[in-house]
Amino acid sequence: MGSKFVQFVCRVLLLVSIVKVGAQQAVFDVMNHGGVADGKTDNSKWFCMGGCKGPIGVQIEGTLLAPEELESSVDIDHWIAFQYVDNLVINGGGSLDGQGPSAWPFNDCLKNPQCKRLPTSLRLDFVTNASIDRITSINSKNVHINIFASQNITISNIKISAPGDSPNTDGIHLGSSHNIQILDSVIATGDDCISFSTGTNNVNISGVRCGPGHGISIGSLGKVDGDDVSFVDIRNCSFVGTQNGVRVKTWAPSEAGTVSHLNVENIEMDNVENPIIIDQQYCPSRSCNAEEFSKVQIKDVKFKNIWGTSSTKYVVTLKCSQTSPCQEIELTDINLNYNGLEGSGVSACSNVEVEAYGQQTPPACTEKIMM
């Protein structure tokens, strides 16, 4: 790793952290201070600089390897984290290699409620006015990039990759964050390309290619009372071979919450299992009950100019809650084809207020979902 301007405090084995940044700026090049680029040496001590002050710039060149040892791979929150920073820039064209295969066998959370957490590759907590540009994240042990309680963040021209069967390797996860832009990036993972948790609003996603992976997911929401995601704009994106296109999912049963002002526009689907899906009976584990209903209110959601192919018969699925039906859902110019052995594609709906405009292939809501 080389840098023109790098400042941060690190923890052992490249668990990096920044706190309480002030008003000065300095320059620190790891390679000029003892760093050894042999892919074996633990260089974490060369990142430890004491208290950093001023705007932070991190330039990554080459490949930074995460540790593979068990003590640095299991029951660890993160590998690299920046906290309480104003004005942060991460760029350089280099790569973060999380060396995920060393930890993925320990991911048993669907079966084990006492499972141990695995580290996120890069966390931004309580960060304002930041950009992440032209870096690559490979094989994270868990989520690749996690943004929490942050605002005014731009992520652009990044590449994220992990095998399609790698567990919980979400590309970018957003929580309790505002004014986020994710632009012109390629994300291929074993989980959601981009995922949202509660308290996230004013998000613009454009020019993202997703696949493989589970698509872009709002939720899952409803675990706690008051979950809210709003004012999300997703446009000019493509999905290739993903499990879902754009999905809204809420737990069954759930606490009260809201998803509103979601706009999905100019989207290409290529062999996607569920191109358009709202699932308010999301229940992937034994800790929920798919026969009960969600209290999360979904309203003002627009799907416009969505085209391409589905790998399953159910091209559009709007499975809304019986106790909190979806409101103000619009389908405009939908042209999604299923060419499999089960006949024509289907748009299936339940407990939803839908208005359809322009082309509708398949015709909107011709089949009712039995709850």
Identify the H or E element spanning 86: strand 86-91
In the set 78, 144, 173, 214, the catalytic residue is 214
Using CA atoms of 119, 244, 212, 304 in order, give the dihedral in degrees to the nearest 10: -110
Between CA 158 and CA 156 the distance in angstroms is 6
Identify the H or E element spanning 15: strand 15-17
In the set 170, 191, 192, 279, the catalytic residue is 191
HSE-up of residue 195 (Cα within 13 Å, Cβ side):
22
Catalytic annotation present for 214: yes
Determine the residue type at 43: N
For tokens 């668990």, the residue is: 15
Catalytic annotation present for 191: yes
Q: Could you write out the DSSP letters of every residue in 189-228?
A: -SS-SEEE-TTEEEEEEEEEEE-SSS-EEEEEE-SSTTEE
Catalytic site positions: 191, 214
